[in-house]
Structure 1
Amino acid sequence: MDKKLNLLIEKRNSEVFLRPRFTIDLDKNCKEILERFSDALKNENSSIIGNIVDGHVFIKVSKKEEHFWSPQLHLEIIEKTSESSFLKGLFGPKPAVWTLFMFIHFVIGISFIAFCMLLYTRVSLNESLFFPVLMMIVLPIIWLLLYFLGKIGKNTGKHQMRKLHSFMMQVIEN
């Protein structure tokens, strides 16, 4: 008997990103993969929970294992042909954490622009430049600190990312 060798090739993006992405070509139908995820997520004993909405699968760790930096995995399963599909995955923080980080980045960016305008105004009026220059130095430092805080958070949730990834791989390969 000849067994068909089932190889999954995962294409990942650079490790620099806070929200790692990957794609996997599958030799299975989109509906079959979604059914597999549906069945796996119905398992009460699993430490992975999630839901499926219109070809999108959202999986995360259970509430008892969850912490502030816990990641979630968003999978989009796209049909290529009636016999094959491909899966696009995106690791990221919970939506509330991501929204908070984006809001803080937005506030820092707008503040930096405001202090640039204040600096221009103070130069035009020959007034003290100390405060606007200080803020134009401090705000990028805060921005960098937020980036590294995000990297630390990603590393804190890395074992959970591996857990979500292995769950996904088990569902796909079975």
Structure 2
Amino acid sequence: MEVDNEVRLLLRFYKNVPQKTTVLLEKFENFKAVLHPDFYVKTSGNHVWLHIKGAQKKYYSPHLHLELEHTAEDQTYIRGLFGPDPVLWSFFMFLHFLIAGVFLIFSGILYSNYVLKNAITTDLWVLGLMVFAWFLLYFIARQIRHNGTDQMQELELLMCQIMGS
């Protein structure tokens, strides 16, 4: 999977596996019982989450969410989604909402000052800073995704090993 050429921050993949969904879920449950020192698995219904733990876990460590869907007799369709740590994702969403709120407030102030024929340079500066902050958050998120590329490949390899066992 080529990570750096993607525009999206959350990487997805789709895969058809010639095994029953129940068999695959059982394999993930068996791996969960082994207590691996570097990874842990959570399952809920037809959803599986693979996480990195221990000394390998960094702030940029991704997790892998798999949705297993029964399609044919002995066929499972897997939807995979690599995502950042939920705490980091929540922090980024908080920053985005904060920037969007400031942008909207100063857009209203800019319009009022424009209609009243007051100075609007400060408002334009703040709006420009908010646009710059949005781009900055995007590039920071891309860098975090780039830092986690090796761990994404580890999680994908782990998924393949579990399904192949």
Alignment gaps of 5+ in structure 1: 1-9
Shift of 1:100: 1.1
SS of alignment partner, residue 56 of structure 2: coil
Query: Which 4+ runs in 1 deviate beyond 3 A?
Result: none
Q: How does 1:83-162 map to 2 (within 5 A)?
A: 83-162=74-153
Alignment gaps of 5+ in structure 2: none
Shift of 1:166: 0.4
CA distance in 1, matches of 2:6, 2:156: 15
- Is the 1:71–1:91 contact (alpha carbons within 8 Å) kept by the matching residues of 2? yes
- Is the 1:41–1:49 contact (alpha carbons within 8 Å) kept by the matching residues of 2? yes
- Corresponding residue number in structure 1 for 2:46: 55
SS of alignment partner, residue 48 of structure 2: strand
CA distance in 2, matches of 1:52, 1:45: 16
Select the residue among 9, 12, 35 that pairs with 1:21: 12
Shift of 1:85: 1.1
* CA offset digits 1:117-149 (Å, max 9, x no partner): 111000111111111100111101110000000
- Is the 2:37–2:54 contact (alpha carbons within 8 Å) kept by the matching residues of 1? no
What is the number of equivalent residue pairs in this alignment?
163
CA distance in 2, matches of 1:48, 1:24: 22
Structure 1 or 2: more helix by fraction? 2
TM-score (norm. length: structure 2): 0.92
- Is the 1:27–1:85 contact (alpha carbons within 8 Å) kept by the matching residues of 2? yes
Structure 1 vs Structure 2 CA RMSD:
1.6
- Is the 2:28–2:41 contact (alpha carbons within 8 Å) kept by the matching residues of 1? no
- Is the 1:21–1:90 contact (alpha carbons within 8 Å) kept by the matching residues of 2? yes
Q: Percent identity?
A: 28
* CA offset digits 1:3-59 (Å, max 9, x no partner): xxxxxxx9x9x7211110001011110000011111122223452112111111011
Q: Which amino acid aligns with 1:96?
A: V
- Corresponding residue number in structure 2 for 1:40: 31
- Is the 1:41–1:48 contact (alpha carbons within 8 Å) kept by the matching residues of 2? no
Shift of 1:83: 1.4
Shift of 1:82: 3.2
TM-score (norm. length: structure 1): 0.88
CA distance in 2, matches of 1:114, 1:145: 20
